[in-house]
């Protein structure tokens, strides 16, 4: 049962003779060679997901959301399939460039861009800035004037659409810090158009993350296309519409994961009203189910009323369960025991909130066994920390039976290197 379910998460994931493999690479062998905790990503899965977006949205620009997983080699795989990059910081810009992304395929959003970050992006001549406030357009215009370049901008609008997701990752509601309210957006477009160093070329929106129902996209895109139409009628040279990302993935076995085709079917009637370049910003749906977190069981503790499986990966490695109460499906790497237990799977961090799963039915595990935490390719390593002075995990990319380390495991020397202080 568990083996057949795995392919619903990732078609390259399966058991062979009771041992878990990803793209033909033994995860237990990787753990023995490289150690745990360990992030492992499937390159073929990433490639297929980028292609699926281009098949659903021909002629679009798919800008991979670097925030989901900023490893330059992950970015490179997406870029080899034609993806650009959606960034929200200067650091993410450098990751995208290191991953081989053409600056002309990079879009830059974020409510708090610093002057230094803006200067770097202007200097690199990225495709477009998605501006989010009135003050930002004046700062950006001043930087462009000083550097001697014109920059392309779109205005991020807040369509006040409920994305039906966790409130911490809902970004399109009126109370959100992101963007400008759609009913007030025209005023900002007019002010930006009056600035000599800005070319106002688009409208941008992003309503949230981990969205499993595509109907909120339909509502948001309808509102945004109406705004584009109004702006064009008023003489603005709007050339593109950026509909953001946020398409959800399967985390629970019962989840029905929407496809890029589902999204296209919902929004195409609205997008077809105008001849505009469509930009998308998928992140989680590209890399989420490409990745696993492998951990080793350190101890098993039975307190009578509660059974604990203590592993060497914690909230410092994968924080989503702790801050979102998020579910990640967990399976044994070696599926040899037919007995099940109900257990909390917890990490080594000195916090009660350090858990990967609560009251989870799982195969009975022993010290030294390995587990695989599924759906960990997005917002796993990218949100990892040094809490309790723990080195961040290594990252490995597998493809067609081979693998390579794309980030070495950190050492204490790396964390405590004297020049860092």
Catalytic machinery residues: 350
Q: Which two tokens stand for residue 279?
A: 């930009």
Q: Are 329 and 375 in contact (CB under 8 A)?
A: yes
Q: Which residues contact 87 (CB under 8 A, 6 or more apart)?
A: 66, 67, 93, 95, 96, 106, 107, 108, 109, 110
CA-closest candidate to residue 337, choices 18, 6, 1, 3: 18
SS3 45: helix
Q: Are 74 and 46 in contact (CB under 8 A)?
A: yes
Angle between helices 134-147 and 115-124 (to 10 degrees): 50
CA-closest candidate to residue 118, choices 149, 95, 73, 78: 149
* CA–CA separation, 409 and 246 (whole Å): 30
Q: Are 273 and 225 in contact (CB under 8 A)?
A: yes
DSSP states along 160-188: -----S-GGGB-SSTTSSSSEEGGGHHHH
């Amino acid at each position: 049962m568990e083996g057949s379910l795995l392919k619903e998460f990732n078609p390259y994931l399966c058991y062979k003779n009771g041992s878990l493999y990803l793209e033909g690479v033994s995860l237990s062998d990787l753990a023995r060679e490289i150690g745990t905790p360990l992030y492992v990503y499937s390159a073929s899965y990433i490639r297929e997901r980028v292609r699926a977006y281009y098949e659903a949205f021909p002629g679009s620009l798919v800008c991979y959301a670097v925030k989901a997983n900023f490893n330059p080699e992950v970015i490179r795989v997406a870029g080899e399939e034609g993806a650009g990059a959606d960034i929200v910081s200067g650091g993410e810009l450098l990751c995208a460039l290191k991953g081989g992304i053409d600056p002309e395929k990079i879009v830059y959003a974020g409510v708090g861009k610093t002057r230094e970050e803006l200067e770097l992006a202007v200097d690199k001549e990225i495709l477009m800035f998605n501006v989010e406030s009135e003050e930002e357009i004046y700062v950006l215009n001043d930087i462009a004037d000083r550097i001697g370049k014109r920059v392309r901008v779109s205005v991020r609008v807040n369509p006040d659409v409920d994305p039906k997701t966790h409130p911490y990752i809902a970004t399109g509601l009126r109370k959100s810090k992101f963007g400008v309210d759609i009913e007030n957006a025209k005023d900002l477009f007019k002010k930006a158009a009056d600035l000599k160093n800005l070319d106002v070329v688009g409208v941008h929106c992003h309503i949230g993350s981990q969205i499993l129902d595509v109907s909120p996209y339909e509502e948001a895109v309808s509102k945004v296309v109406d705004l584009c139409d109004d702006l064009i009628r008023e003489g603005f040279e709007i050339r593109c519409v950026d509909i953001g990302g946020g398409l959800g993935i399967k985390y629970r076995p019962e989840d029905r994961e929407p496809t890029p085709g589902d999204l296209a079917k919902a929004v195409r009637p609205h997008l077809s009203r105008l001849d505009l370049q469509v930009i998308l910003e998928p992140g989680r749906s590209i890399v989420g189910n490409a990745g696993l977190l492998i951990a080793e069981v350190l101890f098993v503790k039975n307190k009578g009323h509660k059974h604990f499986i203590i592993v060497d990966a914690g909230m410092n490695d994968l924080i989503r369960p702790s801050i979102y109460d998020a579910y990640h499906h967990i399976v044994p790497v070696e599926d040899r025991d037919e007995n099940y237990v109900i257990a909390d799977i917890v990490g080594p961090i000195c916090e009660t909130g350090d858990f990967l799963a609560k009251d989870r039915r799982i195969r009975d595990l022993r010290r030294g066994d390995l587990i695989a935490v599924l759906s960990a390719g997005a917002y796993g390593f990218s949100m990892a920390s040094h809490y309790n002075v723990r080195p961040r995990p290594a990252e490995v990319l597998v493809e067609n039976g081979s693998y390579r380390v794309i980030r070495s495991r950190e050492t204490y020397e790396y964390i405590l290197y004297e020049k860092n202080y």
